């Protein structure tokens, strides 16, 4: 079990939480769900409903499109301090990919209601977090554009 102090120190190092003050971070420290994923376990399933994003505390996760299909594709391998699943708390849609632990992994899960809690009690901190998430999604989209540009030529 990750202690409160360890959670706080860990979340301070996560780029999407950059700029949040102690009170803003403590909301997530108190609400984060600790999830153990043994190697090979699916943390999320493509197409399933979701309302939680995850920060990798330890271990690693593959993000997979078309899991189990002939054209299965590994989109990314994420490690400690990376996050995934944020699209489901920003937009209420099904999971766009699966996530599988490649080794014993510990995740911290944050629900959309946790973000709403931040919005309700610390709207300024919520704005910082949403801006950080938007910047991260923009970076990922830009990188995807560059990958597709290379494939198309």
- pLDDT single digits (tens) 104-131: 999 999 999 999 999 999 999 999 999 9
Checking if the pLDDT of 11 tops 70, the result is yes
Cβ-based neighbour number of residue 132 at 10 Å: 17
Rg, the chain, Cα only: 16
Q: How far apart are CA 77 and CA 118, in angstroms?
A: 29
Per-residue pLDDT, 153: 61
Q: Work out the average pLDDT over 12-25.
A: 94
Per-residue pLDDT, 90: 85
Strand 42-44 and strand 73-79: the pairing is unpaired
Instruction: Categorize the per-residue pLDDT at 93 as very low, low, confident or very high, splitting at 50, 70 and 90.
Output: confident
Higher pLDDT, 43 or 89: 43
- Please tell us whether the domain made up of 4-152 is placed in CATH 2.60.120.10: yes
Per-residue pLDDT, 92: 82
Q: Which of 51, 96, 99, 49 is nearest to 79 (CA)?
A: 99
Instruction: Categorize the per-residue pLDDT at 101 as very low, low, confident or very high, splitting at 50, 70 and 90.
Output: very high
């Amino acid at each position: 079990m990750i202690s409160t102090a360890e959670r706080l120190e860990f979340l301070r190092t996560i780029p999407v939480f950059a700029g949040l003050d102690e009170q803003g971070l403590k909301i997530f420290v108190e609400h984060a769900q600790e999830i153990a994923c043994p190697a090979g376990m699916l943390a999320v399933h493509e197409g399933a409903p979701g309302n939680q994003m995850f920060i990798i505390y330890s271990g690693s996760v593959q993000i997979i499109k078309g899991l189990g299909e002939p054209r299965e594709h590994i989109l990314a391998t994420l490690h400690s301090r990376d996050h995934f699943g944020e699209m489901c708390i920003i937009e209420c849609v099904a999971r766009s990919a699966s996530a599988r632990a490649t080794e014993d992994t510990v995740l911290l899960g944050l629900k959309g209601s946790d973000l709403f809690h931040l919005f309700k009690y610390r709207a300024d901190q919520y704005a910082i977090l949403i801006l950080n998430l938007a910047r991260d999604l923009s970076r990922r989209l830009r990188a995807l554009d560059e990958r597709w540009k290379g494939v198309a030529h």
